[in-house]
Every structure is written in C-alpha cells, then in structure tokens.
Structure 1
C-alpha cells in the first residue's frame, strides 16, 4: 500500500496547480470586465457617429450592468443544462450562487443609474415602470440565490423567469407592438444564455477531464447535440426582432442598424468557430476546445453588443427624419 506521506507531494502539486489556475482565471476575469467596460463605453458612441442621433445618458454604465445581468443568467442556466449533459466524471465548482448575487447587484445598480439620470430620489424611482421592473429583476436573482443557499438547486431557475420577463419588457419600451418585441426577447434571452453558459460549463468540464481525451471530447459532443436548439431559437427570434424594429432604409444611417450589422458578423464568426470545433471533435482531436474558447470570447462580445442595442436611440426616428427630407 502507498503511504500517506507518498501521496502528500501529489496533493501539494495539485493544490499548487489549482491555485495557479484560480489566479489565472481571476486575471482573465478582470481583463474581461475591463474589456467589456471599454467596449460598452466606446461602441455606442462610434456607432452613432454621423447619424445625428442624441447620446443616451449613462449608456456605457447601463450597458455594463445589463451585460452582467445577461452573463449572470448565462452562468446559471448554463450550469443547470451542463449538469445534465456533462456525463460521468469530475465536474467544476458551481458558480450559480455568485452569478445570482452579481445579477442582483447589477439590477440594483441600474435602479441607481435610473434615479440619477432622471434626477429623482430612490423612492420615486421605485414607483416608475423601469424601477419596478428592475426591482423585480433584483428580487428574482436574490430568490434564486436563496434557493441555492438552501440547497434547492432545482427551484433556483424558477425565479429567473421573473428576471427574463422583466428584462424583456424593459428592452422594448417603444409604443409600437411592444408585447411582440417582449415575447421575442423572452425566447431569445434564455436561448442566448444557454448557448453561452452551456459552452462555458462544457469548457470547464473539459479542462478538468483533459487527461482523458475521450471523456473530455464526450462532454463537448453532448453539448454540441443540445446547442442546436438554442441556435435555432436565436436565429428565428433574432431575425424577427430585427425585421420588426429596424427599417431597411436606415441600416447604415442609424446606430442600431450599424450595431446590428456588427452583431450579425460576430454571430457568423461564432457559427464558423462552432463548426470548426465540431469538425475537430468528430475526428477525436482534443484541440477542438481551442476554437470553442474563441467562440466563447466572441459570444461575450456579442452579449456586450446586444446590451448596447438596448440603449441606443430607436432607429425609426432616423427613418422618419429621412422621409421628411
């Protein structure tokens, strides 16, 4: 039998490797947050240049907070789906509780931004439409966190329906067919979260199982088989939302149209990377995770661009102005 002393160096090495991986993950997270902040602050301004559209107050801050909300949903829903598709073997530590708390903080932060931009106190802000919806989102995340803390993980996704519903209504405050837009977003948002969060969880599983190529690739195969459904929902709802909200005559003359073109190009790149990863996976190559990692990075950029789309002016104003001319 192997003595406990002989196992100690192995445990120490694993602990050092775990600490090193944790530090690297923290650095990557900080870099990602700073990159998202810079992208959020610059993208809307660049897209609106030369369009004559007025800048939306606190657009950058709102974009960052909305991005956190969507990513929190992605981590939570991705882990829920990932536990079912990961198959046998070691699994990464759950991040859903931290994601739910971050989502609640981001929703509460948007209430503060709303009160500041509107020059009203918090009590008045809570009584507005946006304030009520944001409070509902914050409470939904907190209820989800409570379910996780009480070891009721199967109940945790239910309060997130409130978050998705409230965010869907907030993303479509326009006067024309707002309920149709909200219904499309109610389907679009969870699908995007499942695609992004499911891929994140799968890559974390693959990292833990990297010593066994077949086991690691099996986790990617299981994810790939289910990812087709969120992709199909995203394609249908995304196309319908774009045709509903973006007049064709201002595709190049409005911030919304330019951002939508950028988002379409990014999604095309994501799909190409997904196909590359699937091709390598079918050939049994463990480096299939490399294009999948880039795919995940692009999905985060797509999330930021999507958040910017919710804070740029309605493109119908530009279309009306051009029609008057």
Structure 2
C-alpha cells in the first residue's frame, strides 16, 4: 500500500564546504529538472567482502551476481549502495556488469589503524590475487569536496576496501561522482554521485562498528556530518537518497540527526538486517519524495531458499539487503 507523506524541506546552517558539492556548470534548477520515473528504488547491502574471514569472502563473483540480479529483477532500481566492498574484486566487476547505463563510484576507506598517516588506505585482505598495481588509477576512484583525490593516494592499486554507490543514467542525467569526507571526522565519509540534470543526489556510507567505536563518539559525529553535508543540497532542490551500514539502530543517538530532513525507507516496520538488529538504512530526503514501501532480501532467494534455509545454510553475507521505493513529488 502506498503511504503518502507530507514533507517539508528544512533549511539549516551547515558547514560552508558542503556547498562545494554543488559547484560545476550545467546544474538544472528545480523547475528545469526533467521528471523522474514514477517509481524510484534504492538498495543497500553490506556484502561482507572486504576481509578474509567474512562470510563467503572468497566468492566475490557470486556477491556481484546477486546485486546484478536484484537490479534485473526490479527495473525501478536507480541507486545501489554497497559496503565492505573491494575495488578490484567487486566494484570494477559491478561497473562492467551493469554497463554504460550506470555510473559506479568507489570510496576507499582510510586506514584507521594508522591515523598518523591520513593518506593510508585500507587494504582488501580478501583480494588474494597479489596483482601488481596497474599503470593508472581506477576510473572509479575520485576526489572529495575538499579536493582530496584518492586517485593520487591509491595510484594503480586495486586491493583496496571501502564503499560504493551506483546510479542509473536516467533520461536527462548529468552524473558527477564525488566523495564526501565528514568534516569533523575525516577518517569517515561516503561515496556519492550527484545528477545535476535531474537534481538527484545519492551517497553510501559505513559508520564504525561498536568494537572500533565503543562509546559511539565517531558514529554520532558521522550522523551529524552526513546530515549536515546533505541538507544543503535539499535546500537547493535536490532529491536525496543516503544510507548504508550505519552500525546504529533506529532509536540510537547516531541516527537521530539523520531523521531531521530525511525519513526511513522502512519507517513503519524497521526490519532487522543483521543478527536481529536493524543496522542498515536507506534515508530519503523529506523534499521531493513520497514513500511507497520497503523490503528485506536474503541471498538465498537467488537459489530459491527460504530465509531459514539461508540463515542456517548458505549465506553470501552476514547482512541482508534492504530495498526502499519512493515516488517523486513536486
């Protein structure tokens, strides 16, 4: 059943640098932006592929297969957000599989074990191919709004872990990949793409887990930064879709800032996505969307398994995939 929600765009003071996300020529105004499809879907999944020991870490192709299948099964999917992915194992193959009608953007995770070196990036231990660095950086890497260019940091390496966002090239699209580095916690951030033709903006992030952030300080800061660096775009007429594995439940402190200006895809059900908890989120901006619904999917569906069979038998990740759908409003 379609849930109609009355949304009001909230305009708030935000860090000046967030305005840099809007720089560039050819940006449409709200009145000029072409109509989006009647139904727009987004999915998020922590596919658990960035390190050895994760569920089915040695089967990267099957993880990519399931993402591609989810897109093929629902032509309305326009945004994909994935976490714990590797550049060479998952991100570049996904771009190849999705083809020219999609743009994929990767953000390598800074190596939090070496905070003294801000240029150090997290290696993908699941990539055991021991390939030498390529002659050029991956085209799926890029810079952020502060000018930090991960192509320079990574060089030709493909054995990097991080997050990705992918956006479909809709009619009228002008896609511009950009990374987001959180202002108050530069070790954290998001992979983002903005469509200046359709005024659409999407980001995928992965907040620290409880082991790495026992008092929640980093996650609370990330929640504020993620919201603040997105809300300015909403004020400019962008419809926004942000989310990922935020390692926080809906009632926890890190999520509260994100509910100011955004609403959950599964606001009514808040379905668990990880070990009985809801840690994965899709947040649609209050401006420009009405909610249609949400669903959780488990990897065994591809083989016709039930959720119980998948839980006790074959899994492709320790997280389940979340999908949310909205309809554009004026």
| Same fold per superposition (TM over 0.5) | no
In terms of fraction of residues, the more strand-rich structure is 2
TM-score, length-scaled by structure 1: 0.32
TM-score, length-scaled by structure 2: 0.31
In terms of fraction of residues, the more helix-rich structure is 1
Mark the structure with the bigger radius of gyration: 1
